[in-house]
Amino acid sequence: MEFAIGLAMLVIAVALIYVGLPDRQGGSPRFLRFEAASVLYPPLILVFIAIGTAQVVFSLD
């Protein structure tokens, strides 16, 4: 169960990274054009990566 939760969190992190990529013209996604979103979005992704990785590593024990 812990392994599945960890993998789910890592999948969410990858999805957040994909959603936040700029388009072909280099424009930011609409939700990242606000100053608060550009400050809070990267730490949110890092939290999902860190907790997901920790869950996967500790479930392998």
Maximum alpha-carbon separation in the chain: 46
Where residue 4 falls among pLDDT bands split at 50, 70, 90?
very high
CA distances to 20, 47, 60 from 7, rounded to whole Å, are 20, 14, 12
Q: What is the pTM of this model?
A: 0.85
Task: Give the pLDDT mean for 15-40.
Answer: 86
Residue where the block lists tokens 């054009």: 33
Please name the residues in contact with 26: beta carbons below 8 A apart, sequence gap of 6 or more. none
42: its two tokens: 């990267």
Would the pLDDT of 22 be above 90? Answer: no
Task: Give the pLDDT mean for 12-40.
Answer: 88
Domain ranges (residues) in the chain? 2-59
